[in-house]
Structure 1
Amino acid sequence: MLLIGALCIATLSLGACSDKDAKGGNRTPEVGYVVVSQEAVPVSTSLGGRTVAFETSEVRPQVNGVIRRRLFTEGGFVRAGQPLYQIDASLYQAAVDQAEANLASARASAQAAEEKAKRFAPLARIQAVAEQDYSDALAQARSARAAVAQNAAALETARINLRYTHVSAPISGRIGRSLVTPGGLVSASQATPLAVIQQADPIYVDMQQSSADLTRLRQALASGGVLPGSTSVRLKLEDGSDYALPGTVQFSEVTVSEATGTVTLRARFPNPDGLLLPGMFVTALFDQAINPAAILVPQAAVQRDFDGSAFVYLVGKDNKAARRKIVAERTVGANWVVTDGLKPGDKVISQGVGNLKQGAPIKPVPASSPQRLGAPADKGAAAKGQ
């Protein structure tokens, strides 16, 4: 008896072994319970994805010629309009000079034709010249003016081609390696770009979600079973670390990939330090919806049968343990989210569940109540036991 009394003193009453009372009977075990209620719980989604540059531009020549100089540092940052390559401009400069000369000649011819038409005008009124001669002079003046406009356009085209010998950056961003070297011949119709520029701040993350999951979510939203969630997204990097800055879901594709059966969702993230590089694999975490009537149960309260189905013990009628099957498919923090099997007000046993059986008498107390040490054995009885 002394040994039994010492063990019971050291054992907590909540979920402890059966104590012997003064008369030698079994003490009813105390169990801790929680009263469940409905509350709004986010429906979290985890999707794999890859980073995509916010803007990508292939630097291409718009005129033919030989590259004379490369004007940028590979891997560096370039700004829109910054010169990147110099193409040999000698032929294009000559074309500009020729167009300027042609324009000057056309202007001189136009001036002479207009003067002739002006001189014929008063003579035609007094019929000093034939009416046909005056009409021809007017037509020549108009034709000369048209020739001036044509040559002016040719000059502008030549000047544009001359400007294209300076290949500039179409967008701001980080430029990759040069795919052509000085001395290389390039053409406006070539398939290979000179270099590629990518803007990575901000940066996109393209995520793939099963079309079946997306359909279930949309049906739940349409029926009112869940509410729209937040568009805020968090990222986990390839090494498992968290990306510090949150992003925002921008849109989802309107078609399903026939190859994978998935829909692409795109999120946008700030990337001021350039930590995210295009093509990285990441994991996106976001609350795609909110379940407004979810029931949370402590994980310690949920047990599993041999078939994997979940069940809990409730405080039943006459303070007896009642076994109840539930549906619990995901966790939130330290709790299971129960979608079926419980109703608000149920008292779920979360402490002292180790040896419970259906219909066993229990002494329920609110969970996490101060624990009571077992009563020491009666001193008289202990003396007799000696």
Structure 2
Amino acid sequence: MTFNIFSFSQWVLLSLVILTGSVLVSCQDQDAAGKARQEAAVREYPVIALETRDVKHLNKYPATIEGVENIGIRAKVDGYIKSIYVDEGEFVRKGAPLFQLETQALSQNANAAESNIQVAEAGFNAAQVEVDRLKPLVEKGIISDVQLKTAEANLASAKSRVAQAKSQFQGVKENIGYTRIQSPVDGVVGRIPFRQGTLVGRSEAQPLTYVSNIKEVYVYFALNEKDFLNFTSELEGKTLQEKIDSMPPVQFIMANGKTYPHKGKIQTISGQIDPRTGTINFRALFPNPEYILRDGGSGTIAIPTIYEDALVVPLQSTYEMQGRKFVYRVIGEDSLQSQPLDYYAVVDNKVLVADGVRKDDVILAAGVGNVQNGSKIIPKREDFSNYMDNITPVFK
């Protein structure tokens, strides 16, 4: 029997040939897998070309309501409440009766004052008779004129007493008129803390009630110093009054969340910043023909800020790093480049850009968390308007 026996060197050579072939096959497989992974990593992403929009943003501030006239009703004379003619919340016209105070004591005073007039007039008449009697005697030289002058002085004094008595009577009559308390304006009656039989008077600290003229109402709100400076710096005009005049109409959001149907106008800004709160007060005037708004109510004032021709970036197309906002701008056909943004404000999930990108720049619209600077993508163009659903258009 014959055996083919390989030498040791031949066995080594054969092993090397087999090992080299295996390595080559393995490398080819790895290259193919890596290429496949790379191709799989390049995914399709939506991209948009940036556009400009006119954007209106509503800045909202807590507010309180006061009637244009909010008048405390007080008694001018002391007396017991005899009648209450109105109810709380009732609308009344100017001159309508509100309260009636008892007049018995004042009526007695009036009778006494009237009697005093009669007494004074009787004294005046007697003094006049005396003067008339003495005049002929003096003219004939029967008596000296001293007696006549004395009589004339008594007549003048009697005349003064008549005038004084009439004045006192008139004052009592006016006080009797004050017992019927009337509304000084058209308005709504407030809370009435007093009841029939209660003694009230001029020294009473608490008003009998309030009557609020709410055909128009004041709405008060406050801005902090920073917001105030930013707000006024954007307004037209050199003086503060010119800036106030150029302010756009404002909206009022009622306590139930509904928007009040009539717009108001800012009228005044307080002259100083409150050192306790760091805020400055504004006052707006609103028409209130349906009497929906009531004195003492609350709500929210909404002031529009208009950004004309603003470059807008969807908030979902941005990411934050170290306190700054960034977007991925598409470079060439498929590369992403991280780009920082400077912006004015974020309005309804839209970033109003000041610098960093320009109109018509193409950016990654969505999926910013799945890529990084330098990533390759397959860009899919989408309509910019699809990402502007929450933008409020400005109608001019």
Match of 1:62 in 2: 76
Instruction: Using the TM superposition, give the Cα deviation of residue 258 of structure 1 relative to its aligned residue in structure 2, in angstroms.
Output: 2.8
Instruction: Using the TM superposition, give the Cα deviation of residue 217 of structure 1 relative to its aligned residue in structure 2, in angstroms.
Output: 3.6
2:126 and 2:86 mapped to 1: Cα distance? 51
Match of 1:255 in 2: 272
Amino acid at match of 2:339: R
Amino acid at match of 1:312: V
The reply to whether residue 98 of structure 1 matches residue 98 of structure 2 is no
Query: Does the residue aligned with 2:165 lie in a helix, a strand or coil?
Result: helix
The answer on whether the counterparts of 1:62 and 1:164 sit within 8 Å (CA) in structure 2 is: yes
Match of 1:33 in 2: 49
Of the three residues 184, 202, 205, the one matched with 1:170 is 184
2:381 and 2:315 mapped to 1: Cα distance? 15
Instruction: Using the TM superposition, give the Cα deviation of residue 324 of structure 1 relative to its aligned residue in structure 2, in angstroms.
Output: 2.9
1:56 and 1:263 mapped to 2: Cα distance? 23
The answer on whether the counterparts of 1:200 and 1:278 sit within 8 Å (CA) in structure 2 is: yes
Of the three residues 256, 272, 276, the one matched with 1:239 is 256
Of the three residues 221, 225, 248, the one matched with 1:211 is 225
Query: CA 1:290–1:142 in 2, change beyond 3 Å: closer, same or farther?
Result: farther
1:77 and 1:173 mapped to 2: Cα distance? 6
1:284-342 per-residue CA deviation (whole Å, 9 max, x = no partner) reads: 1113x6566x6321316841223341123456689975543212252345742223445
- 1:203-352 alignment, distance < 5 Å: 203-218=217-232, 228=243, 230-287=247-304, 295-299=310-314, 302-314=317-329, 322-332=337-347, 335-342=350-357, 347-349=361-363, 351=365
- Look at both structures and tell me which one has the larger radius of gyration over its CA atoms: 2
- Structure 1 window deviating more from structure 2 (196-205 vs 319-328): it is 319-328
Query: CA 1:35–1:316 in 2, change beyond 3 Å: closer, same or farther?
Result: farther
Name which structure has the greater RCO, CA cutoff 8 Å, separation 6+.
1
The answer on whether the counterparts of 1:28 and 1:361 sit within 8 Å (CA) in structure 2 is: no
Instruction: Using the TM superposition, give the Cα deviation of residue 89 of structure 1 relative to its aligned residue in structure 2, in angstroms.
Output: 1.0
1:34 and 1:177 mapped to 2: Cα distance? 58
Instruction: Using the TM superposition, give the Cα deviation of residue 280 of structure 1 relative to its aligned residue in structure 2, in angstroms.
Output: 3.0
Match of 2:125 in 1: 111
Amino acid at match of 2:76: Q
Query: Does the residue aligned with 2:204 lie in a helix, a strand or coil?
Result: coil
**Percent identity over the alignment?**
26
Query: CA 1:283–1:243 in 2, change beyond 3 Å: closer, same or farther?
Result: same
The answer on whether the counterparts of 2:262 and 2:286 sit within 8 Å (CA) in structure 1 is: yes
Instruction: Using the TM superposition, give the Cα deviation of residue 35 of structure 1 relative to its aligned residue in structure 2, in angstroms.
Output: 5.4
**RMSD (Å) for aligned C-alpha atoms:** 3.9
Instruction: Using the TM superposition, give the Cα deviation of residue 255 of structure 1 relative to its aligned residue in structure 2, in angstroms.
Output: 2.6
Instruction: Using the TM superposition, give the Cα deviation of residue 156 of structure 1 relative to its aligned residue in structure 2, in angstroms.
Output: 0.8
Of the three residues 117, 125, 144, the one matched with 1:130 is 144
Query: CA 1:352–1:264 in 2, change beyond 3 Å: closer, same or farther?
Result: closer
The reply to whether residue 80 of structure 1 matches residue 75 of structure 2 is no
2:71 and 2:191 mapped to 1: Cα distance? 13
**Could you tell me the TM-score, scaled by structure 2's length?**
0.71
> Which has the larger helix fraction?
2
The reply to whether residue 196 of structure 1 matches residue 210 of structure 2 is yes
1:134-190 per-residue CA deviation (whole Å, 9 max, x = no partner) reads: 222222222222212211110111101111222223333222443222222223312
1:361 and 1:200 mapped to 2: Cα distance? 65
2:256 and 2:103 mapped to 1: Cα distance? 50
Query: Does the residue aligned with 2:327 lie in a helix, a strand or coil?
Result: strand
Query: Does the residue aligned with 1:202 lie in a helix, a strand or coil?
Result: strand
Query: CA 1:219–1:275 in 2, change beyond 3 Å: closer, same or farther?
Result: closer
Amino acid at match of 1:303: T
1:29-53 per-residue CA deviation (whole Å, 9 max, x = no partner) reads: 99542355xx876664211112223
The answer on whether the counterparts of 1:315 and 1:322 sit within 8 Å (CA) in structure 2 is: yes
- Structure 1 window deviating more from structure 2 (267-276 vs 155-164): it is 267-276
- 1:16-55 alignment, distance < 5 Å: 31-34=47-50, 44-55=58-69
